[in-house]
Amino acid sequence: MTLFLDLDGPILDVSRRYYRAHQLCRGADPPAKLGPAEFWELKRARATMGEVLARDGVSPGEAPDYAARWRELIEAPAHLLLDQPWPGVHALLAAWRPLHQLVLVTLRQRPEALRDQLHRLQLAPLFHEILQASPEHPEGWREKERLLRGSPRFAAGAWVIGDTEIDIRAGKLAGLRTVGVLNGIRRRGLLEAENPDYLVEDLGGLSQVLEWTAAPQPETAARNGNGVPPSGGLRTRTPEGESPDQVLPGHSQGG
């Protein structure tokens, strides 16, 4: 089976990089009002750039400059050093690799910086394929869908795993099974609204889902009345028999 895995969020904790870029983009004046945790919660709530700046005491007139600086700084090599793989991620990928085709699918603007980071973090050898496209597309999920469909490992029954609406929408457009991961850059309510097939706390939770769905038991017996399998906080949003490639509402609300 093919697992299409998103990088930023499910595999890497990018919160330190994002906060550092924000600090540099806003400048030292006026003094910051947002600490790292508050900033990250705003990002997880999908606050707009204007909202983040306003909460941090920066005038809206600064926003155009901020956006340009953000594009310049967010993937600067010095800042990519701040990303940290979540504990246990290497072991999970190594365990899945003999069983599944592992395809990394990421929207990054700098292919060389991505390649260097994946090698430095010893993640590159764990994947069978690495796909990357620009994050600048206004409907990132269509760009991601294009990457999915372009993979030689694209096949019915593949899974798309990610932490934002982009991943879930891309997977649905491609007719694949989708898994929302909650330890990334979107909070639970926003991911729930995208109606993924499964929601998991982290990639360790995905391990449980993979085992659970591979087990030879009827789906109805594996869930209680709330659709929660007995093994943990997992949840299916796709009743048995429902077409996985249903069209999502709300595509135009932006990412």
User: Comparing C-alpha atoms, which of 197, 198, 187 is closest to residue 232?
Assistant: 198
Rank residues 41 and 211 by Cβ distance to Mg ion and give the closer one. 41
Alpha helices in the chain (DSSP H): 15-26, 36-44, 49-55, 63-73, 77-80, 89-96, 111-120, 140-150, 165-173, 188-193, 203-214
Rank residues 6 and 145 by Cβ distance to Mg ion and give the closer one. 6
Question: Strand, coil or helix: what is 243?
Answer: coil
CB of 58 to Mg ion, least distance (A): 25
Rank residues 6 and 165 by Cβ distance to Mg ion and give the closer one. 6
Cα distances from 123 to residues 107, 116, 126, 164, 193, in angstroms, run 17, 10, 6, 21, 31
Rank residues 9 and 171 by Cβ distance to Mg ion and give the closer one. 9
Cα distances from 115 to residues 24, 86, 122, 145, 178, in angstroms, run 24, 19, 11, 21, 26
Name beta bridge partners: 178: 160
What is the C-alpha to C-alpha distance for residues 196 and 199, in angstroms, rounded to an integer? 7
Question: Strand, coil or helix: what is 101?
Answer: strand
Angle of CA points 12, 19, 85, to nearest 5°: 15
CB of 8 to Mg ion, least distance (A): 4
Binding site for Mg ion (CB under 5 A): 6, 8-9, 163
CB of 49 to Mg ion, least distance (A): 18
Rank residues 9 and 229 by Cβ distance to Mg ion and give the closer one. 9
Torsion of CA 53, 54, 59, 64, to 10 degrees: 40
Rank residues 159 and 212 by Cβ distance to Mg ion and give the closer one. 159
CB of 89 to Mg ion, least distance (A): 14
The owner of tokens 């869908």 is 145
CB of 149 to Mg ion, least distance (A): 19
Residue type present at position 182? L
CB of 177 to Mg ion, least distance (A): 17
CB of 9 to Mg ion, least distance (A): 3
Rank residues 33 and 188 by Cβ distance to Mg ion and give the closer one. 188
